[in-house]
Amino acid sequence: MASLTACMQCAICSSSCSMRYTMNVRKLIARYISSGQFWGEELWNCTTCHLCQDRCPRGIPITDLIVEARSRVIESGRVPRDVREMLESIQKFSNPFGVGKTKKREWHQGKFRFADEGEFEYLFFAGCGVVDERVAEVARKAGELLEYAGIKFAILRDEGCCGNDVRAVGEEGLFEMLKEENKA
């Protein structure tokens, strides 16, 4: 995390941050430089949108460093309750919402071909949100649009979690496990 010492405290990161009212990126960096540690709830408020990183005039990989710091916190066992519950839910149900796998499998209502049923050009990954009926309807409509456009696609029979949120909180081990499960 030594690249944080290149920070010139210009505050472009903080002014760019969508979470600036609950998290001050510039102060987080200054705190790290003075104490050598990231600590506090602010670390978990980052949405990992990368805007601070993209706009940093010094090219400091701020988001990457925040994810790395989160990973260190997870390794130490000091995981905030809501993050721990999300990770446990993903391990148990393959989604962060605590909804059973059966509900997730129902989103397509039998309308689309499964990847193990034949040839396809593209794999449509619907994501964890399909446990919500509104999101499931959007996914079905997207599938219908793909069919209307003549695109040969398929869906996974037992789609797991993509791991985006898992990776964003710094849990690389679980992310790698989810990646391998989805590839199988």
The answer to whether residues 25 and 70 belong to one domain is: yes
Domain span including residue 22: 2-76
The answer to whether residues 23 and 70 belong to one domain is: yes
Beta-carbon count within 10 A of 125 CB: 12
Question: Can you give the pTM of this predicted structure?
Answer: 0.76
3-state secondary structure of 114: strand
Contacts of 19 (CB under 8 A, 6+ apart): 45, 46, 47
**Secondary structure element (H or E) that encloses residue 122, with its range:** strand 122-124
Select the more confidently predicted residue: 87 or 31: 87
The answer to whether residues 51 and 108 belong to one domain is: no
CATH number at residue 14: 1.10.1060.10
Q: Sorting pLDDT into bands at 50, 70 and 90, what band is 80?
A: confident
Select the more confidently predicted residue: 123 or 23: 123
- As for how many domains the chain has, the answer is 2
Q: Residue 2 above 60 pLDDT?
A: no
CA–CA dist 60, 55 (Å, integer): 9
pLDDT in tens, 17-73: 888 888 887 777 777 767 766 666 778 888 999 999 999 999 999 888 888 888 888
What integer is the mean pLDDT of 88-94? 91
The answer to whether residues 66 and 107 belong to one domain is: no
Q: Which of 76, 103, 126 is the last residue of a domain?
A: 76
Angle in degrees, CA 122, 181, 133, rounded to 5: 65
CA–CA dist 80, 43 (Å, integer): 11
Q: Which two tokens stand for residue 41?
A: 């709830």
Stated length of the chain: 184
CA–CA dist 88, 1 (Å, integer): 28
Q: What percent of the chain has pLDDT over 70?
A: 94
In a domain, 88, yes or no: no
Cβ(107)–Cβ(150) below 8 Å: no
Q: Which two tokens stand for residue 118?
A: 């034949």
In a domain, 84, yes or no: no
In a domain, 83, yes or no: no
Q: Which of 20, 46, 76 is the last residue of a domain?
A: 76
